[in-house]
Amino acid sequence: MPLRGALAGPRLLLRRLREVMAEPVNPQARLDKIVVHIASNMVAEVCSVYVLRSDGRLELFATEGLNREAVHLTTMRAGEGLVGLIAESAEPLALADAQSHPAFSYKPETGEEIYHSFLGVPILRGGNTLGVLVVQNRARRTYSEEEIEVLQTTAMLIAEMIASGELQSIVRPGSDIALRRPIALKGSAIAEGVGLGHVILHEPRVVVKHIVAEDLKKEEARLADAISAVRDSIDRLIDRGDQAGPGEHREVLETFRMFAHDQGWLRRLREAVMTGLTAEAAVERVQNDARAKLQRRTDPYMRERLHDLDDLANRLLHQLTGEPFVTANEDLPDNAILVARTMGPAALLDYDRKKLRGLVLEEGGPSSHVAIVARALGIPAVGEIANVTDLVEKGDGIIVDGSTGEVQLRPSGDVEAAYAEKARLRARRQEQYRKLRDAPSVTRDGVQIDLHMNAGLLVDLPHVEEAGAASIGLFRTELQFMVASQFPRMNAQLALYRAVMDAAGERSVTFRTLDIGGDKILPYMQTFEEENPALGWRAIRIGLDRPGLLRSQLRAMLRAGAGRELRIMFPMVAHAAEFDAAKDLVEREIAHLSRHSYDLPRALKLGVMLEVPAILWQLDEILARVDFISVGSNDLIQYLFAADRDNKRVSSRFDALSAPVLRALKVITDKAALTRTPVTLCGEIGGHPLEAMALIGVGYRGLSMTPSSIGPVKAMVMAVHEGELRALMEELLARRDGAASIREELRAYAEAKGVPL
């Protein structure tokens, strides 16, 4: 622990710098004064500030000690020389003999050859490097830990100056400082559409404005109070979690608790306050280091833990500044684009839909729950953009292209105009699809292809009409469970199913029983560690092992379907006997309801989802039992190729448009035709025109998809000839060339025939 007396120097420096910050002088004069103060306080002959420009070069912005003529002339690449090395590594570097360091590179115009010792620190903000602050001495000397700390603290003030935009006016003409530069990012497309707007941070980071402490004792006390308040709130959350049963959430909270008591972390915070910072600036300062480290970690476990530490620091900052944790709806601009590290589906539903133009996430792949909700709400969304919350500032211009996965941050006028045009074109195309809404979905040779929609939430219901869907071909009942904070009771389920059937009117609704487990986790339900959750305890397996759960859901469905046709299907059936057991539960519920004089559905149709390859060799048994089949191609394909649908490394490795998949899919329609059992396919591929075209060629007459896909798929259907497609598929699937994909052949065919894709 450093002595209080030893810190008098740094505190004095901070106070001086604060005065300089408040002086009404131009930015260059301010920066010039700052370097003089730092040099004199640290007894250094040189102090220089390098600022990172948008072209990736570091430019000398001010110096005391080096040749003044070099200011705004000397530049270097990140990675070049000692300054470039610091910018790249985001770590301090202290050297007694700088010139013997392998990275040393000499800029003659600066006249730095006479200085031997060198101390440089990154200028960090929100984990981003904005520049480098350097002191140099003629004599060979070793800089102490305290001196490094002091320089890091001072760098925070300069970071604020850069972030305020003040320095933009003195950058060399034609270049920008990096902080405000436009950035093009690429993630994964999770909900299509193009949105232009301004950044709103979900759970925003606190921007620390008061950096220098007025009264050290007071700041120490504020820090101690805030830490104990945050600890208490974590304990309370854990206690509450204990009552609801352990869940995934708990692990995160336990990690929070561990960090909140971590002596190393607490000591670093206290030491930062001792150098003269306010409590919030101390948290920011310590966290800046952690964030910079986080960005260089590749080990996913450590990244996750450091993310947790970052969240904890954010809680502490909110506690200290009293700023609200979540952006309130009143603060949303009319064209808000939400940027978040992660987000639960319920949190997204809390925002005012009318004001949201897009969503950008650091985590969250295409099948994450929040992605499902974003698609249901029609909000363009992009996921898996590393570090994006650190790259943006509230209010920044931003464009989200949920069809390509591109995000343009602070776009230039040209880029913005190009995307605005894209958005207009898309709107025009949507208008054309709307015109197709009432047109029959029939191929050129008169074969009817029914286009149904997938749904799962109340917000989906208006789409039934808008999209002109033939029916709701898949209603994912688990979504209600996933957005709730506790198990929805039977009455809540009943109310939702009734509302869905009412909204569907004459159209039928196919309810799928709870499909949880695997990637679909309910935070309030007890989970078990499983090595391979996708192959584990999920869907109908849970339903049959916990019949109480399934029975109350069946009861809600049967009551909602009173007097109407009710269609129920079971997910992940792997064996005909599982269907029998599920059907048995339905019959028991019917008996129960009859006994209590409830009205029953006018007709009941029971089906299975074909998602597990084992069913391909039980089609005879299954077809003899069911009223219909729905092919869940998302799961079926992942199991056929043994490639996790959510694992980016492998999910795009195999093509659905390939012989093994299409042959398997054809076996299903061929067999079902013999018993005249209706077959629909409700996985993602049904909503892509090219894939849907191939599916028609292997016998599919019903496809269920996200509502926005119905227009494009219908346009394709109306342009193809079923007989021709069937012949084409027969020819392609008869080939034995071992090709991994037949996508190009199909695309060429569509192009030749003028089929819109």
Interatomic CA distance for residues 69 and 91, integer angstroms: 28
Interaction pattern, residues 279-318, with ligand PEP; x per rule: CB under 6 A: ----------------------------------------
CB of 539 to Mg ion, least distance (A): 8
Please report which helix (H) or strand (E) contains residue 61, including its range: strand 57-64
Select the span of 116-124, 277-285, 590-598, 629-637 touching ligand PEP (CB under 6 A). 629-637
Select the span of 303-311, 522-530, 560-568, 628-636 touching ligand PEP (CB under 6 A). 628-636
Interatomic CA distance for residues 226 and 136, integer angstroms: 38
3-class SS string, 369-388:
HHHHHHHHHCCCEEECCCCH
Select the span of 54-62, 168-176, 357-365, 631-639 touching ligand PEP (CB under 6 A). 631-639
Interatomic CA distance for residues 70 and 410, integer angstroms: 31
Interatomic CA distance for residues 235 and 238, integer angstroms: 5
- Catalytic status, residue 369: yes
CB of 534 to ligand PEP, least distance (A): 10
Q: With contact defined as beta carbons under 8 Å apart, do 632 and 680 qualify?
A: no
Among ligand PEP, Mg ion, none, what binds residue 342 when CB lies within 5 to 8 Å by partner kind?
A: none
- Size of site (CB under 6 A) for ligand PEP: 10
Nearer to Mg ion, 632 or 686 (CB): 632
Both tokens of residue 602?
Answer: 């006018």
* Residue 478 touches Mg ion, criterion: CB under 5 A: no
Among 632, 686, 689, 707, interactor with Mg ion by CB under 5 A: 632
Nearer to ligand PEP, 256 or 639 (CB): 639
* Residue 702 touches ligand PEP, criterion: CB under 6 A: no
Q: Could you tell me the CA-to-CA distances from 522 to 310, 484, 528, 555, 756 in Å, in that order? A: 25, 9, 12, 21, 40
DSSP string, 683-714: SGGGGSHHHHHHHHHTT--EEEE-HHHHHHHH
Q: With contact defined as beta carbons under 8 Å apart, do 612 and 636 qualify?
A: yes
Give how far the C-alpha of residue 735 lies from the chain's centroid of Cα atoms, to the nearest Å: 41
Catalytic residue among 37, 202, 307, 369: 369
Nearer to ligand PEP, 269 or 516 (CB): 516
CB of 313 to ligand PEP, least distance (A): 36
CB of 569 to ligand PEP, least distance (A): 10
Select the span of 173-181, 630-638, 671-679, 687-695 touching ligand PEP (CB under 6 A). 630-638
Give the side-chain half-sphere CA count within 13 A for 304.
8
* Residue 515 touches ligand PEP, criterion: CB under 6 A: yes
* Residue 456 touches Mg ion, criterion: CB under 5 A: no
Nearer to Mg ion, 117 or 680 (CB): 680
Contacts within 8 Å (CB) and 24+ apart, 323-326:
323/204, 323/206, 325/203, 326/202, 326/203, 326/350
CB of 634 to Mg ion, least distance (A): 5
CB of 623 to ligand PEP, least distance (A): 20
Nearer to ligand PEP, 238 or 534 (CB): 534
Grouping H, G, I as helix, E, B as strand and the rest as coil, residue 247 is coil
Nearer to ligand PEP, 280 or 635 (CB): 635
3-class SS string, 410-441:
CCCHHHHHHHHHHHHHHHHHHHHHHHHCCCCC
- Tell me 99's DSSP state: G
Select the span of 242-250, 255-263, 342-350, 626-634 touching ligand PEP (CB under 6 A). 626-634
Among Mg ion, ligand PEP, none, what binds residue 476 when CB lies within 5 to 8 Å by partner kind?
A: ligand PEP
Report the DSSP pairing between strands 75-77 and 57-64: antiparallel
* Residue 460 touches ligand PEP, criterion: CB under 6 A: no
Nearer to Mg ion, 635 or 684 (CB): 635
* Residue 345 touches ligand PEP, criterion: CB under 6 A: no
Select the span of 126-134, 581-589, 613-621, 632-640 touching ligand PEP (CB under 6 A). 632-640
CB of 55 to ligand PEP, least distance (A): 44
Q: With contact defined as beta carbons under 8 Å apart, do 121 and 148 qualify?
A: yes
CB of 538 to ligand PEP, least distance (A): 10
Read off the amino acid at residue 47.
C
Q: With contact defined as beta carbons under 8 Å apart, do 54 and 180 qualify?
A: yes
Interatomic CA distance for residues 403 and 190, integer angstroms: 8
466-485: which residues touch ligand PEP (CB under 6 A)?
474, 476
Among 280, 310, 589, 611, interactor with ligand PEP by CB under 6 A: 611
Catalytic residue among 307, 318, 452, 682: 682
633-672: which residues touch ligand PEP (CB under 6 A)?
633-635
Burial of 735 (0-12, 13-18, 19+ CB in 10 A): exposed
Nearer to ligand PEP, 65 or 683 (CB): 683
Nearer to Mg ion, 90 or 685 (CB): 685
Interatomic CA distance for residues 410 and 419, integer angstroms: 13
Nearer to ligand PEP, 406 or 515 (CB): 515
Among 365, 378, 402, 632, interactor with ligand PEP by CB under 6 A: 632
Give the side-chain half-sphere CA count within 13 A for 437.
14
675-694: which residues touch ligand PEP (CB under 6 A)?
682-683
CB of 375 to ligand PEP, least distance (A): 12
Interatomic CA distance for residues 96 and 730, integer angstroms: 76
User: Cβ of 502: how many Cβ atoms within 10 Å?
Assistant: 11
Give how far the C-alpha of residue 629 lies from the chain's centroid of Cα atoms, to the nearest Å: 33
User: Which residues belong to the active site?
Assistant: 369, 682
Residues lying near Mg ion in the complex (CB under 5 A): 611, 632, 635
Residues lying near ligand PEP in the complex (CB under 6 A): 474, 476, 515, 611, 632-635, 682-683
